[in-house]
Structures are given as structure tokens and as C-alpha cells.
Homo-oligomer: A and B are copies of this chain.
């Protein structure tokens, strides 16, 4: 199964609100919230350490229902990851799009990243893209492609920010947006890793602020 090229235009919501009355026994779950629960579990333990029984009890669906709704465990993992990416993109899209000073833009992006990485009942959960890269990406080409797409997507989003800052005179002409974009991504990656190692939000914010200073110039 080749990866679908779904970019921002994802209709996706076949919600019950407008559905013309399904025919059989009604579902006892809502696919969206069930997928959210599955994502929570996968984010906590990863693919291999999360069993179908865990997923079943967390979602309230028993295994056959899970299977029918999302496919096997691997497919469920992939759908969970896509959900994660969609959420993350939705949370940052406005900031990447709007007009604002580069420092403020970076600070807001990192604040959202920290919100995502530090959330969780059982401790901070880090970045699911990073988790997937370090676990399933090697053995599974489809998953690896998704991860790579996410990584370069973030690089590019940051690079565009730096490019605009350069055009507006916030950065010197010698600045290289592509390099700075990768460095901004590297900062995301490092706080994702450190968050799972138990580093506090305050320390992570210090790291972020230091990185911003180096990237756009100390002010």
C-alpha cells in the first residue's frame, strides 16, 4: 500500500451529524476519540510495548471491533501517527502562516511543541515523530517515508520563516534559511528527547531561548 499524498486538503470528517442514518447496529464508540486513545497509548509505550489488549481496554472497543475499524495493529499505528501529525500541523499552521517577527514566531512554535511533548498522565511523552523514527522507521519503509516527510516538512516550514525574516531585514543577507531551518528543527528534536529524559519545562525553555539567540542573533 503506497502512501497517500494527503496534504492540507483533508476532508476526512464523515461525522455522524450529517450522516443519512446508518443502517445496522449503531457503533458503541466514536472512531475519532478511539483513535485519540490509541494515539495516547502508542505515544506512551511505542508500537511493540503496546498490546492489542491495552488498546482494546483503553478505547473501550474489543479487538474485533478495533480490527474492523482500523485494520491490524500496524495500520492502527499508522493511522494514529497520521492523526498526531494532523493535530500538530493544525496547532502550528496559523503561526507559520501569520505575519510576525521571527523571534516571536519561533518562541510560539516552541511553546506549542513543549505543550505537546510535556503533556500526558504518566509523564511527558515527547514527540511521536521522533519516537517512530527511533523505533519502527528502520524496518518499515512506509513508516520511514512518513517520518522523513514530517522531518523535511518541518525543516521547510522553518526555512520559510527565516527566508521571510531575511527579506524583511530581520536577518542579515548572509543568513542561510535552509541551514537555520534545519537548526530550528534540531532544537525541536533535542527538546523532544530531553523531555522524555525528565528535563523540566523551565530548562527546556532555556535551551530554546539560547538556540533562538544563536539563530537570529542575540538581542
Contact = CB atoms under 8 A, between A and B. Distances in A.
A175 to B, nearest CB: 9
Nearest to A146: B197
A130 B134 contact: yes
A125 B135 CA distance: 10
A123 B144 CA distance: 12
A129 to B, nearest CB: 8
Interface residues of A, number: 49
Contact of A151 (B48, B144, B197, B210): B197
A188 to B, nearest CB: 9
Interface string A21-45: 0000000000000000000000011
A196 B46 contact: no
Contact of A186 (B137, B190, B199): B190
Interface string A122-151: 111110001101110111000010011001
Number of copies: 2
Contacts of A138: 44, 122-125, 196
A80 to B, nearest CB: 16
Contacts of A76: none
Interface stretch (A7-15, A94-102, A176-184): A176-184
Contacts of A48: 45-46, 48-49
A111 to B, nearest CB: 17
Contact of A190 (B131, B189, B207): B189
Contacts of A69: none
4 residue pairs, one from A and one from B, having the closest CB atoms = A179-B210, A186-B190, A48-B48, A48-B49
26 contacts: A45-B139, A47-B49, A48-B49, A49-B135, A122-B138, A126-B133, A130-B130, A130-B193, A131-B134, A133-B194, A134-B193, A135-B135, A144-B198, A147-B197, A148-B197, A148-B198, A151-B193, A176-B213, A179-B214, A182-B190, A182-B207, A182-B210, A186-B187, A186-B189, A189-B193, A190-B190
